[in-house]
Copies of this chain bind each other. A is one copy, B any other.
Amino acid sequence: MALTDEQRSEIEAVRAAPHQTVRPTVPAMEALLFEPFPLLDHGFIRVVDYMGGDSAVVQAARVSYGKGTKKTSEDAGLIRYLMRHRHSTPFEMCEIKFHVKLPLFVARQWIRHRMASVNEYSARYSVLDKEFYLPDATQIAAQSKVNNQGRGETLSPETAAEVLSILQRDALQCYGDYERMLDPEGLGVARELARINLTLNAYTQWYWKIDLHNLMHFLALRSDPHAQYEIRVYAQKMIEILKAWVPHTAQAFEEYRLGAYSFSAGMLKVLRRRLAGESVTQETSGLTKREWTEMQAVLEG
């Protein structure tokens, strides 16, 4: 990862000189603000600002003055109610801003979430660092046989080593040529052109700001086992941050989103038959094999 000494001391200076505010404050967030959490081999995520917390969700739901609630227990109940009934607008009332360093191919998946604000490091304006993502050997896997867009079994250590050496060699060569093209004493190519020679595992960074509702939508999709491993590690770290930021909301999110399962109309019919004592098989269920397998996996926990 890459915090220079100067950057570290800037962060420490900011942290050492807190201000007074009458805005809602979340102590657990104050404790982790600015701190980079390392992810993958050169990436990180850090919170650079936040607005509101569980209390702001409750306040908006009540369109109330001041603190708006008397007891925390009532707040938790209200938040669970809002989550369960998909009353999403109160969750839009909180906002968080991250500074993220991530490989380009992860950035390309991430940016598909449109309901967020982004400022990315510009390779037209500046030179990208000599850093590229090389997966840990345990993450180098074969094409999945069941999931057309995912990984299956881990490859042998020998194969993984060969893959790594290919990735490393190509990235280094492309970066070397990038530098050579940029060199004002050499080829002197414009930055916006030279950078097209970089590989997709090069790292970029950005500020990314999103509201709590849309963050949870992002996290539900990107922490899913079907998401690519490399974006999932960012989502998982953000779920930890979510727990620090909005503990009641995070709990309701796990209860009603991450840990929930939507039964289709056909699945509900099967459930009713089974609860009535009938023995149902895939053949008699009216469900496709995929649906049946998925439902069974859920029901078996």
Contacting A20 at CB < 8 Å: which of B20, B121, B271? B20
Contacts of A267 in B (CB 8 A): 260
Q: Please state if B259 and A275 are interface contacts (CB–CB under 8 Å).
A: no
Q: Is A122 an interface residue (CB 8 A)?
A: yes
Q: Please state if B66 and A10 are interface contacts (CB–CB under 8 Å).
A: yes
Contacting A125 at CB < 8 Å: which of B3, B34, B149? B149
Known: A93-B117, A125-B148, A256-B264. A195 touches B105 (CB 8 A): yes
Contacts of A261 in B (CB 8 A): 262-263, 268
Q: How many copies does the complex hold?
A: 4
Contacting A197 at CB < 8 Å: which of B21, B180, B200? B200
Say which size band chain A's interface belongs to. 35 or more
Q: Which 9 residue pairs are nearest across A and B when measured between Cβ atoms?
A: A10-B66, A259-B265, A92-B117, A124-B149, A51-B51, A19-B25, A114-B114, A7-B65, A60-B119
Residues of A in contact with B (beta carbons under 8 Å apart): 3, 7, 10-11, 13-15, 17-25, 30, 33-34, 48-52, 56, 59-61, 63, 65-67, 84-86, 89-90, 92-93, 95, 97, 99, 103-105, 107-108, 111-112, 114-115, 117-122, 124-125, 133, 135, 139-144, 148-152, 155, 159, 162-163, 166-167, 170-171, 173-174, 177, 180-182, 184, 187-193, 195-201, 205-207, 209, 211, 221, 226, 228, 254-256, 258-269, 271-272, 274-275, 291, 298-301
